[in-house]
Structure 1
Amino acid sequence: MSLVDSLYSIDDYIWYVAFAVIAAIGVLATVLLRGVQFRGLGEMVRTTFDLNKTPRPGKISSFHVFCMSMGSRIGVGNIAGPVTAIIAGGAGAIFWMWVFAAIGMATSFLETTIGQIYKTPKEDGGFRGGPAYTMFHGLGMKKLGLALAFIMILMYLVGYVSGEAVSMAEALNGLFDEHDIDGQWFTAIFITSLAAVIVFLGVYRVADMSVWIVPAMALGWFVMCIVSIALSGDGILDAFGSIFGDALSPPSVIGGGIGTAIMWGLRRGVWSNEAGIGTITNLSSIADVKHPAQQGYTQAFGVLVDTLVSTLTALVFLSYADVGAFIGGDGDSIDCLQEVFKDTIGSGLAPALLTVFMFVFAFTCLMSDIVVAEGNLLMFGDHKAAKLGLKLLVIIVVFVFSWISSDYAFIALDVMMAVCAFFNAYLILKLYRRGAEAFRDYRRQKKEGKEEPVFDPSCLSDRTGITAWDGKD
């Protein structure tokens, strides 16, 4: 058995436990927050798209952070993931993806609110935060906090950054292969050059870029999917029928039956929206907001948007008349989806469009990945030499993996995501009361007629480790 095969076996076992933990945390969050993902949809939209707020000097607005986090959430997984889930788990996997996304919205609200409570000020006036900071300040577990920061850096370098490099390289090389061109050198140099630009731009420039690129990217994919679905005729009705029909009774070609459908639905949701893993809180904690729960609403809405993007991809695939030929097979998800787009949009245009979206989706993820890696590095001190070393290491990793695609990037990422999920679950179980108290304080102020609640740590039963809030913000 090869090393990759061994890692896949370990990964499968560790994720059975991780999935159970993430689902349990989602149910806990739903109960604690009184079904906020259903009752608070209007507030989610309001807090997310309140564009009248101008970020204070040296700080990043909630909407900027929302776009950065969506750049991280919406990636190649939204293109390949739903198709892979359908091929392996049947159309019913999409139903279970919706179920777990629903409870994941509550999880995202809770973990984001906790992360906001324990964020810390930066010397330049901004903020930094995430699970490592919460472990360090919120629980006072300094050594474990530093260990978690190291794991996060490793996960983003070895997993996310290398994975995005591989995805971008495969997208470009696939386009070159269509025209029988050997573009490997060009691909590696081009992607590495883009990474170098991002690395030296800094978090504020990345935030500004995200505000323009991410909405355009998501809107473009929405349009492409809707056009494809419209051109498929009545296939959309069959798509919804198969999603609900196969939820409890998957087709016989799916080994493992309903268990397989449920596992693939959860796997697809977690991989895409990242709710419960703690990765998104690295970004959401840097937002400049007046109340932690405000960012909680925004990130819960982010899970919904991410799920809509994945759902549209799934509907494109399931609207295809011959989709049954793919289910239960071992075909590559991108190749299968490309066949569908060729049939609806046209064989000349479809490959180019799909390549562009795969590249841009991976690029926006890379932008956010670099910001998160640097944020966790700051846990060890604001050392210029260390920051420069990290930037150079990112550039090297991008070049190597854009030149030599490897399965190690994705399997290593998957294992480390499970490890982070356990850390994050521990944090939530220890601090969920603080998140629930902040939520109740926000709702109380809204009921009293306050348009924009202001957080005062005195509403919490324990203010230990809070460094960024003084009740006057």
Structure 2
Amino acid sequence: MPDFLSFINDVLWGSVMIYLLFGAGCWFTYRTGFVQFRYIRQFGKSLKNSLTPQPGGLTSFQALCTSLAARIGSGNLAGVAVAISAGGPGAVFWMWVSALIGMATSFAECSLAQLYKEHDSKGQFRGGPAWYMARGLGMRWMGVLFAVFLLIAYGIIFNSVQANSVARALNFAFDIPPLYSGLLLASLALLVIIRGIKGVARLMQWFVPVMALLWLTASVAICVWHIDQLPGIIAAIVKSAFGWQEATAGVAGYTLSQAITSGFQRGMFSNEAGMGSTPNAAAAAASWPPHPAAQGIVQMIGVFTDTVIICTASAMIILLAGHGSAYMPTEGIQLVQRAMISLTGEWGAGFVALIVVLFAFSSIVANYIYAENNLIFLQLDNVRNVWILRMTTVSMVVLGTLLSLPVVWQLADIIMACMAITNLTAILLLSPVVYTLAGDYLRQRKLGVRPVFDPLRYPDIGQQLAPGTWEDAPGDRDGAR
């Protein structure tokens, strides 16, 4: 079975996914006028605006934290370790590239999710790739296919990945049996997910910043303590990314393709740009200013934070500890723990275990919210089906603690590729709409007014939208920004 999964992964990630991700990212970077670089100075203002509450949905900040809860998981720790193990220090460079390019892809998919959102029976905004496939492309069958992929990924496989890392970390640090850690994690997750999307969002708006700050503080302190080694680490990352390090040394090492593949795989698993998951959170927001592109810009911050900041913090710890050498066995989260032990002492293993529990817990909760959201699209969100999904989610958390690491990661890579191919196809077909949204937002910003989306200006788009979603968008179109 592992050999078969490895073969499928080689086919998908050896060529198809790398070119598709890179090509889509470059295309949306061009079509949006390099939006990720143009608005980087506006990130602070966008975050400030994201705190403004509006009727009918979450605040943009709550949606951002919910999406970050799903993004910031074991992939930011174990995934970085796997990437460096498979592709060397150069994989970190390609993770950065995947993030910078992926920011434009995230802008596209999250703007589309905001545009095509609709109210559910309780008045809460709902949307995501399945909705823009059905409304924007008129292909409900494609939306159904994507929703099924997402239910498998976020209801089953990805939660197993998170639980697997938790079990290994707690067993390594405290000798806790994997089954016990799985049962505890599943119980805590169930207590939170029964509160629904609004309850989860209110929790995550403070939980995510605290847990991220905790890990960043530790990493920065370690980097400052070993500041004399940082120039060498950065040089190794860049040289290894292009194979220069091995060529200069005259030894066999990681190849360029290994670095690129590992970096893009783990980078995408972490920041989820283009996968179609984040739009499920983005659509739930009542965006402010009331324009779909505003939520796209806020969600770009999530991609940057996840990969360029959080994943880099993990990578620096691993590389400062000297655990980036060639032919290092893939050990996932235990590699990060060993790195922390060598840098800080025995307590480091327990600290990493605590961090991975926090990261994995937030991811499992947000993953469930994404899965439940797509039950609504499939019109299967009755009480019985919702509880079946909840029980399946927590059961897979427990089962994930008992699976082997390579099998878990291979399954995650395959389903991630299936989701991404479906979603990227849809947003590429909808790229004219993305171009229109980006242009409309930029035009209003240049005029010095607060951007407000008016569907009457774009009748072809307006007829595809859910009634009452944008016609009554709040805000004075002539007001100040």
**Range of TM-score over shorter length:** over 0.9
Structure 2 residue matching 1:462: 3-state secondary structure: helix
The alpha-carbon distance between structure 1 residues 118 and 41, as it changes in their structure 2 partners (threshold 3 A), is same
Match of 1:83 among 81, 87, 103: 81
Please list, as runs of the form range in 1=range in 2, the aligned pairs for 1:120-199 lying within 5 A after superposition: 120-177=118-175, 183-199=177-193
1:47 aligns with 2:7: no
Offset of residue 95 of structure 1: 1.9
The alpha-carbon distance between structure 1 residues 86 and 408, as it changes in their structure 2 partners (threshold 3 A), is closer
Counterpart of 1:72, as a letter, is A
Counterpart Cα distance in 2 of 1:163 and 1:153: 15
Are the equivalent residues in 1 in contact too, given 2:28–2:108 (CA < 8 A)?
A: yes
Counterpart Cα distance in 1 of 2:51 and 2:114: 21
Structure 2 residue matching 1:251: 3-state secondary structure: helix
Q: What's the counterpart of residue 205 of structure 1? A: 199
User: How many residues are aligned here?
Assistant: 462
Counterpart Cα distance in 1 of 2:131 and 2:52: 27
Structure 2 residue matching 1:275: 3-state secondary structure: coil
* C-alpha RMSD of matched pairs (Å): 2.0
Match of 1:100 among 86, 98, 101: 98
Offset of residue 6 of structure 1: 0.6
Deviations 1:158-214 (A, max 9, x none): 21122222222223233332xxxx534532331221122123111111001101110
Q: What's the counterpart of residue 231 of structure 1? A: 225
Task: Answer with 145-154 or 252-261: which moved more.
Answer: 252-261
The alpha-carbon distance between structure 1 residues 197 and 52, as it changes in their structure 2 partners (threshold 3 A), is closer
Unaligned 5+ residue runs, structure 1?
Answer: none
Task: Answer with 103-112 or 86-95: which moved more.
Answer: 86-95
Q: What's the counterpart of residue 414 of structure 1? A: 413
The alpha-carbon distance between structure 1 residues 52 and 301, as it changes in their structure 2 partners (threshold 3 A), is closer
Counterpart Cα distance in 1 of 2:458 and 2:19: 29
Deviations 1:227-267 (A, max 9, x none): 12222241111111212222322426665622222222222
Unaligned 5+ residue runs, structure 2?
Answer: 475-481
Q: What's the counterpart of residue 296 of structure 2? A: 296
Are the equivalent residues in 2 in contact too, given 1:158–1:412 (CA < 8 A)?
A: no
The alpha-carbon distance between structure 1 residues 43 and 222, as it changes in their structure 2 partners (threshold 3 A), is same
Offset of residue 276 of structure 1: 1.3
Structure 2 residue matching 1:49: 3-state secondary structure: helix
Counterpart Cα distance in 2 of 1:47 and 1:432: 23
Counterpart Cα distance in 1 of 2:83 and 2:180: 33
1:222 aligns with 2:216: yes
Please list, as runs of the form range in 1=range in 2, the aligned pairs for 1:346-425 lying within 5 A after superposition: 346-347=345-346, 349-381=347-379, 382-402=381-401, 407-425=406-424
Task: Answer with 411-420 or 401-410: which moved more.
Answer: 401-410
The alpha-carbon distance between structure 1 residues 98 and 185, as it changes in their structure 2 partners (threshold 3 A), is closer
Counterpart Cα distance in 2 of 1:130 and 1:327: 41
The alpha-carbon distance between structure 1 residues 350 and 406, as it changes in their structure 2 partners (threshold 3 A), is closer
Counterpart Cα distance in 2 of 1:409 and 1:92: 24
Match of 2:246 among 251, 256, 265: 251
Counterpart of 2:109, as a letter, is E
Task: Answer with 234-243 or 389-398: which moved more.
Answer: 389-398
Structure 1 residue matching 2:135: 3-state secondary structure: helix
Q: What's the counterpart of residue 328 of structure 2? A: 329
Are the equivalent residues in 2 in contact too, given 1:29–1:110 (CA < 8 A)?
A: yes
Q: What's the counterpart of residue 276 of structure 1? A: 274
Deviations 1:8-66 (A, max 9, x none): 2111211220121111000000101111111111223311233651242x521100010
Counterpart Cα distance in 1 of 2:236 and 2:130: 42
Counterpart Cα distance in 2 of 1:170 and 1:457: 51
Match of 2:68 among 67, 70, 73: 70
Counterpart Cα distance in 1 of 2:266 and 2:229: 23
TM normalised by structure 1 equals 0.92
Counterpart Cα distance in 2 of 1:49 and 1:380: 35
Are the equivalent residues in 2 in contact too, given 1:169–1:187 (CA < 8 A)?
A: yes
Counterpart Cα distance in 2 of 1:95 and 1:375: 34
Counterpart of 1:286, as a letter, is A
Offset of residue 405 of structure 1: 5.6
TM normalised by structure 2 equals 0.91
Structure 2 residue matching 1:190: 3-state secondary structure: helix
